[in-house]
Chains A and B, each alone.
Chain A
Amino acid sequence: MKIAVISDTHDNSSAVTWIIKYLNEHKITIALHAGDIINPGMVMRFHKHYTGHLHFIFGNNDGERAGLMARTTPLENVSCHGDTLRMELAGRMIFMNHFSDMSQNVAQSGVFDVCIGGHDHQYRVIEGPSLFINPGNTVTKDEWLMQDADKESSFVLLDLDTLETERIMVSD
């Protein structure tokens, strides 16, 4: 079973649209978003157009938490897990927190099979006691980007059976 790992989409609507279409086309039925969605309307795009289920947590830039919660709690295909997601998927224990520093530390414990983080926008997959994934970002591109990591947009497909990952570059 493959799932999508997404983070730091930062209101880039064209990238989110691209990702949703990709996930639908490739029949990826579960997507985990590690936060910094920004606009609650972005989650509604998943609700209306994604044929799978979106699980998301808050990032440090998700200021309108009340709006996100109010909009998503009644939705059948979107679940908000607050600041931290801890859940079992296909027999794998998953941990997700927006801050990669924290998630990488949790990964060292080996308590979870997979730990996911974002925040620093830097794609990386680290094998260890737990598999750590930072899927990168989809920050809107412009000539004044603050960090090199923002020059590439990506998310990750994770095979929960094999724990193999594939970085998907987003065309936005």
Chain B
Amino acid sequence: MKILISDFVHVILLSRGTLYTGDADKFQADIHEQGSTFWALNQLNQPLLTFIQELLCKKVIFTTGTTHQAPEVVADVAHYFEAVYTTTQIGYSKSDPKSFKKLCLELECPPHDCFFIDDQFENVRAAQVAGLTATQYTTVTAAQSAIMQWYQSDTINQL
């Protein structure tokens, strides 16, 4: 079984310009303070979501923040992903390879069968150290290419 593990903020949920840390409560306060709306400041990464929806593998979120709990996106998260794991649950920061070792144990999946995507290089590196295939999110096209390379890697690995 292959599992695609994705960061949430800046990969699945993209900012329309305002950078924030992924803390839902703080972000909601900022929205209120600015007299704005969630969707005025954010957008779902729909091209990437559409792409990964077609993949026949389990998909989960691994996130540091709580933005995935925002009422505006809860339904979308549930639609595209089977589960959400937070660093609070796992007990280690994503920059610590131990977080990925523990997440793989939780998922009951060997690290080498998991793919991780995150916009932070130190998190990607930690995942690689733990044995996962991982890529840093830069663009949708690059992400699709990296995911597809992993997704189709069974043939080469079975030689």
* A interacts with B: yes
CB pair B153–A53 under 8 Å, yes or no, is no
Roughly how many angstroms separate A87 CA and B130 CA in the complex, as a whole number? 11
Q: Does A69 contact B (CB under 8 A)?
A: yes
Contact yes or no, B157 A88, CB < 8 A: no
Q: Specify the chain B residue showing the minimal Cβ separation from A66.
A: B110
Q: In the assembled complex, how far is the CB of residue A74 from the closest CB belonging to chain B, in whole angstroms?
A: 6
Chain B residue at minimal CB-CB distance from A30: B129
By a CB distance below 8 angstroms, the chain B residues around A88 are 125, 128
Interchain CB contact under 8 A, B129 and A74: no
User: Are B97 and A79 in contact, CB atoms less than 8 angstroms apart?
Assistant: yes
Interface residues on B, range: 20 to 34
Contacts of A99 in B (CB 8 A): 159
Give every chain A residue within 8 A of B159 (Cβ-Cβ).
99, 102
- CB <8 Å contact, A69 and B101: no
Select B129's contact among A53, A86, A102, beta carbons within 8 Å: A53
How many A residues touch B, CB cutoff 8 Å? 18
Nearest CB on A from B131, distance (A): 4
Contact partners of B157 in chain A: CB under 8 A: 82-84
In the complex, chain A residues whose CB is within 8 Å of the CB of B130:
79
Query: Contact partner of A80 among B97, B110, B125, CB < 8 A?
Result: B110
Interface membership of B113, Cβ < 8 A = yes
Mark B60-84 against chain A: 1 for CB-CB distance below 8 A, else 0: 0000000000000000000000000
Q: Are B113 and A82 in contact (CB under 8 A)?
A: yes
Evaluate contact between B133 and A86: CB separation under 8 angstroms.
yes
Q: Convert B144-159 into 0s and 1s, putting 1 for each residue whose CB lies closer than 8 angstroms to a CB of A.
A: 0000000001001111
Whether A82 and B156, one on each chain, are in contact in the complex, defined by CB atoms closer than 8 angstroms, is no
In the complex, which residue of chain A has the Cβ closest to the Cβ of B113? A82
Find out whether the CB atom of B101 lies under 8 angstroms from the CB atom of A76: yes
Shortest CB-to-CB span from A61 to chain B, Å, is 15
Across-interface contacts of B111 in A (CB, < 8 A): 73, 79-82
Contacts of B133 in A (CB 8 A): 86
A167 CB within 8 Å of chain B: no
A47 at the interface (CB under 8 A from B): no
Contacting residues of chain A (46-81) with chain B, CB-CB under 8 angstroms: 53, 55, 69, 73-76, 79-81
**Residues from chain A with Cβ under 8 Å of B57 in the complex:** none
8 closest Cβ contacts across the A-B interface?
A82-B112, A83-B157, A79-B131, A87-B128, A69-B110, A81-B131, A80-B131, A81-B112
Known: A79-B131, A84-B156. 14 other contacts (CB 8 A): A55-B129, A55-B131, A69-B110, A73-B101, A73-B111, A74-B101, A76-B98, A79-B111, A79-B129, A82-B112, A82-B157, A83-B158, A84-B153, A88-B125
**Would you give 15 A-B contacts (Cβ < 8 Å), ordered by A?**
A53-B129, A74-B101, A76-B98, A76-B101, A79-B111, A79-B129, A79-B131, A81-B112, A82-B112, A82-B113, A83-B156, A84-B153, A99-B159, A102-B156, A102-B159
